[in-house]
Structure 1
Amino acid sequence: MKPSAHAVEDPVTPAHPRPDRRPALILANLGTPEAPTAKRVRPFLREFLTDRRVVETHPALWRPVLEGVVLTIRPARSARKYATIWRAGHETSHSGSPLMHHTERQGELLASALGDAVQVRIAMRYGKPALRGVMGELMEAGCRRIAILPAYPQYSASSQGTVIDEAARFILASRDQPELRTIRSFPGAPAYIEALATAIESHWERHGRPDPAAGGRLLLSFHSIPRAMHDAGDPYRSECERTAALLAARLAAPEGLIRTTFQSVFGPARWIGPATIDTVAELGAAGCPSVDVICPGFMADCLETLEEIDQLNRRAFTSAGGGDFHYIPWGNDAPGCVAALAEQARAALSGWVD
């Protein structure tokens, strides 16, 4: 039977939405508990620490330790730390999380920078809004072109890798699959390096530049990864070193001023180093007059920057005899950070928008 010359399109139904021609950009970050309480921290930690990209120990060995020890002790400890950084007036709200607050703001600013031709959403790998849930909402609305921008400048299987894994799981479970793009990493991207340099130079204009001859230092503190991951071929350390080299060149830093360190070690395994907290303690004990610390791998302030660096590492430095300690924020809604994200977003969307 020949089709009618006057055949009409299938009706638009919830199962067959009219395609939205605008591509979507998802800004993805790690995630955060919904509140600074043990009750809310525990499920977040469980989801995070059961990810085989994060803890590569076989589940048969790891799960008893996780359930019997880690999730018994750590939620209350972590909750107390989160409580020290939760935004005032939002103590019981998800938006009280600095990471959530800053990521939401970055999403708004990215939407403004990219224009109405792109729909911008945020997602978290762990917790809410869940990445697969956001992808599903976009598909239900008719979107068929999705670009994912993980907010991690340096690649690691435990950061970008697990975001891409999660997107792939959505694809595997989908009958109607979207066209998908991801940004792998951007450790040497011009706008990213410039954002870091601008924040540092602005800080130096206000507080003075550390004098390496007198013992002053600028630390570039990156999140660490287990040594076993590095030895297995994870390129993370080399990408951190690339960022450090390009930033040092951009700042015309004299020899001895900049040191690259690693933070946020967890558990008894060996991690790549030197450890930031050991470094600041050693500098303090040596009578270092001033240390500046910037965290190039964190595009939004969070527990690791606001509590670990600006509180714990500050105390380690000053109690050991050090002088002035400065944490240099550079991300969040700073124009340079947003420009760095927009640079990557435009690359991911190339050919999809004019």
Structure 2
Amino acid sequence: MTSPNASRLGVLLLNLGTPSGTDFWSVRRYLKEFLWDARVIEPPPSRALWWLILNGIILTKRPFSSGKAYKGIWNNELNESPLLTVTREQTRKLFEAFSAKHSADVVFDFAMRYGEPNTPDAIRRMSEAGCERILIFPLYPQYAAATTATANDQAFRGLMKLRRQPAIRTVPAYYDHPLYMEALAGSVRRHLEARTAEGAPAPQRILCSYHGLPERYVASGDPYADQCRATTRLLAEALGGPEGWVESAFQSRFGKEEWVKPYTVERVAELARSGATDIAILAPAFSADCVETLEEINEEIREAFLHAGGQRFDYIPCLNAEDAHIAALLAVVEREMAGWLPEAETPRVA
């Protein structure tokens, strides 16, 4: 999306990625690119051994189960994953919000780290559109090497293919940005208000479920788990309520090694067995609903809670393209483009 005149600045939103379809080979291509990334599966003692395990075992079985999961949440009208649909809408709305406030001519585009639309092509497109400065915006509120860093890596790989490179800035973690927290708390308050309108009490527990990370990565210096817990603490402060009402857990464990705990699927079952019959859950690490939220949380984790004796399990959707979320993303863009935008248009507050 561009404004009418030749652009000199660009904003590129980056998200994780999606297979192009739900069939075996589409999902296999996507998983192969994802699981071969050394930022995601940090190199084992033998990279050759991991190649054999990945191609000989995992990629012969996992595309079937993953394809089934994607099929259950697929946007059949557009024949694409919800993540792609939402990221496109976020880009459109962010462009419109920016254009309503600023006269600067800026290209807004989006890409995926894995799959299509791919990041190097987006970098090339924006360069050809005249962008001499590009802000790279990985849509991950909390920083992890397996998400933010690998998205930035791919952007710089795209730069390596260009003779005339634009200047690049990357967006840091925004897990504690006031407008992001306001949007997050607002989404929970609306859910609580809806429950009140139907005559239901507040849930006994609100669980913030973040994508998991191996403990080994944290021990190596990854700040992700601390930033996730900080988001939960800030959300709890914004909502009020009894101590311990809002808590953190981590989902999507892969492999046999220890990951950051508590594991969401085990924690919800533990809550049910200890007498909690009514809980709500949200996913603050995801900027858009995807297979990990719509299928894993809203189906697998829900089932674990109900099977253990729970009665009501509410999933609070991601912020997606909500206006409050777009306002938060815009504030981050404006902050990180300071000095690039005309001085009169550069906000003086974070």
Asked if the contact 1:155/1:239 (under 8 Å) is kept, the reply is yes
CA contact (8 A) 1:99 1:302 kept: yes
Listed one character per residue, the Cα deviations across residues 239-261 of structure 1 (whole Å, up to 9, x for unaligned) are: 11111111111112321211100
Rounded Cα–Cα distance in structure 1 between residues aligned with 2:132 and 2:49: 41
Q: Structure 1: how far apart are the matches of 2:19 and 2:118?
A: 12
| Equivalent in 59, 67, 89 of residue 105 of structure 1 | 89
Tell me, which stretches of 5 or more residues in structure 1 are unaligned? 1-18
Contact 2:124 2:162 in 1 (8 A): no
- CA drift of 1:323 comes to 1.6
Cα shift readout 1:88-116 (whole Å, capped 9, x = no counterpart): 434xx2xx310000000001000101116
Query: Counterpart of 2:304?
Result: 316
Q: Partner of 1:28 in structure 2?
A: 14
Matched, 1:205 2:182: no
What is the distance in 2 between the residues matched to 1:21 and 1:69? 48
Matches within 5 A, 1:327-342: 327-342=315-330
Structure 2 Cα separation of the partners of residues 79 and 321 of structure 1: 30
Q: 1:87 & 1:163 partners in 2: Cα distance? A: 24
* Matching residue of 1:265: 253
Match of 1:62 in 2: 50
What is the percentage of aligned positions where both structures have the same residue?
41
Letter in 2 for 1:302: C
State how 1:46-61 maps to structure 2 within 5 Å.
Answer: 46-58=32-44, 59-61=47-49
Q: Which of 321, 340, 350 is the matching residue for 1:352? A: 340
**Pairs within 5 Å for 1:226-241:** 226-241=214-229
Cα distance in 2 between the residues matched to 1:174 and 1:113: 30
Residues in 1 aligned to 2:227 and 2:321: alpha-carbon distance in whole angstroms: 24
Deviating above 6 A after TM superposition, structure 1's stretches of 4 or more consecutive aligned residues are none
- Letter of the 1:261 counterpart: A
The match for 1:73 is 61
Residue of 254, 261, 267 corresponding to 2:242: 254
Structure 2: segments with no counterpart, 5+ residues: 343-350
Deviation at 1:211, TM superposition (A): 5.6
Q: Residue type of the partner of 2:107?
A: Q
Deviations 1:133-171 (A, max 9, x none): 100111122221110111100000010010111122223
Compute the displacement of 1:311 (Å): 0.7
CA distance in 2, matches of 1:170, 1:310: 36
For the residues of structure 1 that align with 2:172 and 2:310, how far apart are their CA atoms? 39
Partner of 1:14: none
Question: What SS does the aligned partner of 2:130 have?
Answer: coil
Considering only aligned residues, what root-mean-square deviation do their CA atoms show, in Å? 1.6
Give the letter for the 2:97 counterpart: A
Alpha-carbon distance in 2 for matches of 1:147, 1:339: 17
Structure-to-structure mapping, 1:116-135, within 5 angstroms: 117-135=105-123
3-state SS of the aligned residue for 1:69?
Answer: helix
8 A contact 1:286–1:322 mirrored in 2 = no
CA distance in 2, matches of 1:138, 1:331: 27
Give the AA of the match of 1:41: V
Larger Cα-atom Rg = 1
Confirm or deny: 8 A CA contact 2:302 2:313 kept in the other structure: yes
Secondary structure at the counterpart of residue 35 of structure 1: coil
Comparing 169-178 and 320-329, the one that deviates more: 169-178
- Which moved further from structure 2: 201-210 or 298-307? 201-210
Preserved CA contact (<8 Å) 1:20 1:144: no
Provide Cα deviations, 1:50-86, integer angstroms capped at 9, x if missing partner. Answer: 1100001342221100000010000011000100001
Distance in 1 between residues matched to 2:250 and 2:241, nearest whole Å: 20
Range moving further from structure 2, 266-275 or 299-308 = 266-275
Q: Which one is further off, 342-351 or 227-236?
A: 342-351
Q: Distance in 1 between matches of 2:69 and 2:217?
A: 27
